[in-house]
Amino acid sequence: MNDAPEIDELVPPDRTLMGPGPSDVHPRVLRSMATPLVGYLDDYCVEVMNDVQDGLRYLFQTDNEHTFAVSGTGSAAMETAFGNLVEPGETVLVPDNGYFGARMGEIAERAGGEVVTVEAPWGEPLDPADVEAAFDEHSPTVFGFVHGETSTGVRQTSVSDLTGIAHENDAYVVADTVASLGGVEFHTDEWDVDAVYSGSQKCLSAPPGASPITFNERAVEKVRTREEPVRSWYLDFEGVWEYWGEERNYHHTGPISTLYALREALRLVSEEGLEGTWDRHERVAGALKEGVEAMGIGLNVADEHWLPTLNPVRVPDGVDDGEVIDRLIEDHGIEIVGGLGALDGEVFRVGCMGHSARPANVTQFMAAFGSVLA
Ligand code: PLP
């Protein structure tokens, strides 16, 4: 028999999470996870799921019936969207201006799609004219875009223009809102987006593990008329909807504590009101933006595409970004991260999302950042 390992009591260090996620979890959400479990088909759990679905419809600003939480992180929701909507051989258009657009491409390819890209420099959004040109050249069936690109801190504006182009070409639109939903304005129905997914660990002040997703009727019709079964059993829309739809049948065990957490997070959004949370993110991140600008350090994004939830603060000349990041966490308990891909060494990525989007966090960050750079 193997020896039992000695495992110490769990005592996580005190952190202020100002990176690209997870962000600080609201104390009420943490408490909800310490409440007793019920069975995943218990009437109480069904009520919790109903509340989650109502809360998500409000969050997504949609009337879509097919709105639920994927058991898994944002990437599982991404895979649910592309894995169900893309059939082998179909052309899928994805952005080439950030890390998560590239992930969309990888996932679409594994679903059997032929992936083509629309280009924009890292640090800029897609230009609708380029999207139109890409449609003319490639005639894609599915088009994905990232509303808040966490790798660059860019907010994709002109969403209605993008969906308009796609629909004129009979294509389906998938939006990634993992770093934006609940933090900045998003209107699923008004902007006519066919499938939208997000995550719980950023703007919703909840832990990772139950990821919001919504499909409109047009998207559901495409999924239901597939010629080939979805390649993933776990993330197959029809199977998952057995559990989240009227049937409430077993598909897989619902992540009960994580659903409690998401429900409490959505209750917080309802109490504050969506406009209230958008406004708070803009005000609090605005103070951070003004603070770093006052230090003579700008953000690596134009004001009109600024994503308050993720601020790409430029690394000043002569400063070692890794050292600053290490000192912030070691001396001040504050987590931020560096740039990815084309922005590696160029920016610090400072998140301001969910329960981390509070004046106290920004004050603490500004003081620590100033002292580390001094
Ligand atoms: N999309 C975006 C924009 C993200 O920021 C992330 C995670 O940071 C993901 C997708 C993937 O989500 P997860 O890491 O929760 O799987």
pLDDT digits (tens, 9 = 90+) for 123-138: 999 999 999 999 999 9
Residue whose entry in the numeric block shows the structure tokens 């939006």: 175
Which of 100, 146, 343 most suits a substitution to test ligand 1, by most atoms within 8 Å of the C-beta? Answer: 100
Give the distance, in angstroms, between the CA of residue 237 and the centroid of all CA atoms in the same chain: 19
- The answer to whether the CB of 120 falls within 8 A of the CB of 96 is yes
How high is the pLDDT of residue 340? 92
* Residue 146 alpha carbon, nearest atom of ligand 1: 3
Contacting residues for 156 by C-beta, under 8 A, at least 6 apart: 125, 126, 145, 146, 147, 148, 149, 162, 305
In this prediction, residues 238-267 reach a mean pLDDT of 97
* Residue 20 alpha carbon, nearest atom of ligand 1: 8
Q: What is the DSSP string of 230-281?
A: -S-STT-HHHHHHHHSTT---SS---HHHHHHHHHHHHHHHHH-HHHHHHHH
In this prediction, residues 17-21 reach a mean pLDDT of 97
Q: Which long-range contacts (CB under 8 A, 24 or more apart) does 358-366 make?
A: 358/284, 359/284, 359/287, 361/16, 361/18, 361/24, 361/284, 362/284, 362/285, 362/287, 362/288, 362/291, 364/16, 364/332, 364/334, 365/16, 365/18, 365/288, 365/334, 365/336, 366/288, 366/291, 366/292
* pLDDT band at residue 342 under the 50/70/90 scheme: confident
Task: Spell out which residues line ligand 1, taking CB within 6 angstroms.
Answer: 20-21, 73-75, 78, 100, 146, 150, 176, 178-179, 199, 208
- Which helix or strand (DSSP H or E) is residue 126 part of? none
The string of pLDDT tens digits covering residues 183-225 is 999 999 999 999 999 999 999 999 999 999 999 999 999 999 9
- Name the residue with the closest Cα to ligand 1, atom 5: 150
C-alpha to C-alpha distances, 5 to 10, 11, 13, 324, nearest whole angstrom: 14, 17, 22, 36
* Residue 310 alpha carbon, nearest atom of ligand 1: 5
The proportion of the chain whose per-residue pLDDT surpasses 90, expressed as a percent, equals 99
Which of 178, 198, 258 most suits a substitution to test ligand 1, by most atoms within 8 Å of the C-beta? Answer: 178
* Overall pTM surpassing 0.95 (yes/no): yes
Here the tokens at position 245 are 């739809």
- Which helix or strand (DSSP H or E) is residue 218 part of? helix 217-224
